[in-house]
Amino acid sequence: MGTIIIAIVMFLLLVTIHEFGHFIVAKLSGIKVNEFAVGMGPEIVSNQKGETKYSLRLLPIGGYCAMEGEDDESNDPRSYDNAPAYKRFLTILAGPLMNLILAVIVFTIVAFNSGTATNSVGGFTDDSKAKEAGIILDDEILSVGDREINDFTDISKNLTSFYETNPKDKPVTVKVRRDNEEKSFDIIPSFQDDMAYIGVTAKMRDVGFLEAIGLGFKETGRNIKLIFTVLGNLFTGKLSFGALSGPVGVVKEIGNQAQNGVMNVLYFLSYISVNLAVFNLIPFPALDGSKIFTNLYEMITKKRVNKKIEEKVTIAGFIILLSLILIVTIKDIFTLF
């Protein structure tokens, strides 16, 4: 139950931050906002301030910023549809940007409290293949599969690269520095969803506040790159559809992270926030990216996309997205048993 509550709070926070981005830029742009809602479904409580109603709704599965004329016809001069293209562009873009800003802030908090990973071994996972091979705590990992390790995350990337061209039963050579002496170990990793693991965790070092800010930006950028890598692997078939997770999978992972402390939960919050931002920027109907694209098109060509056609395409896209979420959710439920 605790995990579900944490998941609901996290999801509501991410959606509220996202919709607040749309809301604040719409207000600054002079676009009329009819309602700012946290949650969906029946209204629990609301308060009218000026032209905007602020409401809390029963179902904690989302929220919205209802702008005048965004999804229907309106003759109001301050409607979304009557605003200049650049204002509409910035208003829609602000949602994903707020999620990225949140990610940077929370990654910064995590870095300041937890430190940053070094290239030295700070611990081992259960059944660690590295530990079995003879690697010990404080060994500094220099290379994996003849590729240098400049950052601890390079271990995973180098393992992936090695086993793209080699069979899974072939040992990978891991070089370490121990007491100013280099040592080599041949290791056959464990595999999960075609991902290779040697079972080591990083030794952490403390960082100052300014360095933590830099690490917040760096980690956000790294996660953005990771998402595009995963999407590329899905389209090329290197990663199976089963690797995707929906709401059930996310709740399960929150439970896993909660067992490892608050910082792990916060890190996962940032990771989901980056995911929400990146996926919303994809120019697919029903996502923010679609409206960003059409507004950008209008800014460049000075021609508007036919609204009726755009509405029909958006409905079709929404149905496709709901279907995908349903399929992934069913898959996640089956994996629980």
Which are the catalytic amino acids? 19
The residues near 111 (Cβ < 8 Å, ≥ 6 apart) are 207, 211, 212, 215, 216, 219
Could you give the C-alpha distances from 262 to 106, 190, 215, 316, in angstroms and in order? 12, 28, 18, 40
Amino acid at 172: V
- Give the separation between CA 126 and CA 104, rounded to whole angstroms: 31
53, 46 contact by CB (below 8 A): yes
- Give the separation between CA 309 and CA 148, rounded to whole angstroms: 52
Render 135-175 in DSSP notation, one character per residue: --TTPEEEEETTEE-SSTTHHHHHHHHHHHSS-TTS-EEEE
244, 325 contact by CB (below 8 A): no
The angle that helices 209-236 and 262-281 make with each other, rounded to 10 degrees, is: 50
Residue with token string 């998402």? 227
Could you give the C-alpha distances from 334 to 7, 17, 249, in angstroms and in order? 20, 32, 11
The residues near 11 (Cβ < 8 Å, ≥ 6 apart) are 60, 61
- Give the separation between CA 70 and CA 309, rounded to whole angstroms: 14
